[in-house]
Structure 1
């Protein structure tokens, strides 16, 4: 008798557990960002009112691939390898997220634009770095890993441009 009642309960519990573990619509790969705002909040959380050195270290491929689209990540990684092999400074020399080698970020504001394209958008990042006003524009794209950075426009240059695009 107990076995007859227990079996349907165990089957129902298994379906509930499986349903909770299954990714929902629009879910992204593990460690990806589900929205542009999630990406920017996590990324700039390393900088806002934090000491220099607390930013994102782009010294390893996993970190580069976390934040950048596969195409941009490949360019950054190739540039780093070529520079290391030639014992030179890479083209990306500084922190692309604050357009500087040193920073003291205050007054940070992040705004994500509405987009007609469901898998692309722009974000405007404004802040003060050692008191100097800065504005960056990030091109964001939804990839298999979630929302990532496709390009950064610093006003005076673009990330894609330093790699010859």
Structure 2
């Protein structure tokens, strides 16, 4: 994927498409974002991104794939982000890849750029939230037995996030 728009969803792009095109053209692909952009250049509403696992975490050296889905209500409404790589994490559901991140819900602002969303997901890998979690047992393990949590998270990273 590259950071250049080559197509639009229609001949007269909506405000959502214009905003996505602007962000895509200005997107700087640098660590921890390995790649980000539309899956199909003709459909700017569906993106894929890959982020690297943060160093000194059980996710280190992993590559984590994200699906980012925009609607015509973007940027008034945040995109839906889904982790495509199976990950052992209290804030990301194992079966659906649903991500619990305030930036995508209660803290959403229409001025939030896509790069900030991806960075927020990276920071969630770096610093999980054990108190507010989608995976309650994983959150409990994170808070009560960090060594075991880290071992299991590293096992998942080794199994599912290594290319």
Whether TM exceeds 0.5 here: the answer is no
The structure whose residues are more often strand, as a share, is 1
Using the size of structure 1 for normalisation, the TM-score is 0.32
Task: Look at both structures and tell me which one has the larger radius of gyration over its CA atoms.
Answer: 1
